[in-house]
């Protein structure tokens, strides 16, 4: 494990992202997704947070729900991520994790293990500093986004209704461009999204720039 005086040193963050990326997680491989879910859940064990693991079904992996120990009495912040990717098992042999300049490469790093890990890392630092955000923080990692969230949709909607803000950890488009609305799914009628649309299955999403990753957000409409 790398250590440094700067908790947001890119080397530390990239080391964590590498561990997540190197566990391949195609949606149709629930055992693989559950390996990553275990790694994610274990990362919260020493933090002031409660962790719930929702068992997968219908061929999908588990979902992980982590809640801060503070601020849960009123609507807070939901950080939404997914652990599954579009890449088949073995793809990492063709595209091993590597960095070149200010870019990192690996299966699913762009959509969305890079952003998901950044949110996790930020929560760890919030706890390490002893700081408490004005609002409670809930982080939800689902296993089936790439096939339309058939087993997590109800969970996402239930947690979203409890939240004041919902942040989605997908990166922005090139140049920091954002999308402020979507018409592709019923979920877009309930959520206003500031981020790129979720990529279609098969789209190449294996590179991400990490020098200045913005975390996009959705805001739940009352």
Total count of residues recorded for the chain = 222
> What are the residue numbers of the active site?
84, 145
Biggest CA–CA distance in the chain, Å, is 47
């Amino acid at each position: 494990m790398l250590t440094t005086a700067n908790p947001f040193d890119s080397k530390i963050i990239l080391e964590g992202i590498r561990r997540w990326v190197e566990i391949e997680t195609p949606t149709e491989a629930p055992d693989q997704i559950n390996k990553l879910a275990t790694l994610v859940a274990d990362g919260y064990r020493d933090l002031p947070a409660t962790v719930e693991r929702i068992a997968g079904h219908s061929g999908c992996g588990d979902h992980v729900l982590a809640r801060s120990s503070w601020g849960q009495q009123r609507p807070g912040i939901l950080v939404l991520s997914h652990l599954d990717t579009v890449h088949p098992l073995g793809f990492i042999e063709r595209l091993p994790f590597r960095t070149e300049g200010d870019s990192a490469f690996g299966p699913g790093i762009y959509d969305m293990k890079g952003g998901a890990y950044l949110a996790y890392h930020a929560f760890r630092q919030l706890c390490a500093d002893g700081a408490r955000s004005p609002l409670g923080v809930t982080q939800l990692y689902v296993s089936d986004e790439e096939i339309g969230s058939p087993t997590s949709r109800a969970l996402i909607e239930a947690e979203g209704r409890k939240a004041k803000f919902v942040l989605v950890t997908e990166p922005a488009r090139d140049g920091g461009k954002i999308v402020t609305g979507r018409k592709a799914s019923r979920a877009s009628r309930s959520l206003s999204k500031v981020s790129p649309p979720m990529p279609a299955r098969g789209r190449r999403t294996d590179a991400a720039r990490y020098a200045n990753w913005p975390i996009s957000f959705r805001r739940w409409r009352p």
